[in-house]
Each structure stands twice: as C-alpha cells, then as structure tokens.
C-alpha cells in the first residue's frame, strides 16, 4: 500500500513539473508597449478578446520591481497569430 502511495505522489509531482514547464508553449507575442502606450496595448488586447482570439496580457515591471519601466505584451496562441495581426492592423 505504501508503494502505491509513493508512486502516486511521484506521478503527481512529475505531472505538476510538466504542466509548469509547458504552460506557455504555443504562445506568440504579437503586440507590446511600455509606459507611454500601455492604454493602447490594453485597447488592442480588448479588441482581440472581443473578436474571440485566445490571448493573454502580460505586464512586467513597475513599482517595487528592479525595472523602473512597466511593459506589457499581448500573447496569442500560435494558430491565431494571423487573425490577431489582421485585427490589430484594422484597429
């Protein structure tokens, strides 16, 4: 019984590590900006979401960070890059 529990724990740990490593695979940066145009990046992100594009907004830096500048990037799934660029270009 103890061996089964040990095997189950090892499997769960391995699965957790795999999910952490592969979490951001398949995402492509399509648009970004810094403090000067963060509102524009947010607007583009909202437009992509409204059009049904699977995307994420990553914001880095800012107060309390080693970097003084805040940056933001929009990531989309690889298969939606073309559609995302078309939407960004239109708006």
Residue 32 maps to which CATH number? 3.30.70
User: Residue 78 falls within a domain, yes or no?
Assistant: yes
Q: What is the pLDDT of residue 69?
A: 74
Mean pLDDT of 67-83: 87
65 is written with which tokens? 């960070």
For a pLDDT cut of 70, what percent of the chain falls above it?
Answer: 81
Model pTM score: 0.68
Range of the domain at 38: 26-90
Q: Which residues pair with 75 in a beta bridge?
A: 29, 56
Q: What share of the chain is helix, strand, coil (3-state, %, to 5)?
A: 55, 25, 20
Q: What is the pLDDT of residue 68?
A: 64
Backbone dihedral region of 62: left (phi > 0), alpha (psi from -120 to 50 degrees) or beta?
left
User: Residue 9 falls within a domain, yes or no?
Assistant: no
User: Residue 31 falls within a domain, yes or no?
Assistant: yes
- With 0-12 CB in 10 A as exposed, 13-18 as middle and 19+ as buried, what is 85? middle
Q: Considering its fold, how many domains does the chain have in total?
A: 1
User: Residue 19 falls within a domain, yes or no?
Assistant: no
Mean pLDDT of 21-43: 85
User: Residue 4 falls within a domain, yes or no?
Assistant: no
User: Residue 75 falls within a domain, yes or no?
Assistant: yes
User: Residue 13 falls within a domain, yes or no?
Assistant: no
Count how many Cα atoms sit within 13 Å of the Cα of residue 28 in the half-sphere of its side chain.
11
In this predicted model, what pLDDT tens digit does every residue of 36-61 receive, in sequence order?
Answer: 889 999 999 999 999 999 999 998 87
Task: Show the CA angle centred on residue 80, arms to residues 22 and 32, nearest 5°.
Answer: 80
């Amino acid at each position: 019984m103890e061996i089964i529990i040990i095997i189950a724990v090892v499997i769960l740990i391995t699965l957790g590590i795999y999910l952490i490593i592969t979490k951001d695979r398949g995402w492509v940066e399509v648009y970004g900006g810094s403090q000067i145009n963060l509102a524009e990046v947010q607007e583009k992100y909202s437009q992509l979401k409204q059009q049904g594009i699977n995307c994420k907004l990553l914001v880095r830096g800012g107060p309390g960070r080693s970097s003084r500048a805040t940056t933001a990037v929009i990531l989309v799934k690889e298969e939606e890059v073309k559609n995302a660029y078309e939407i960004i270009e239109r708006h």
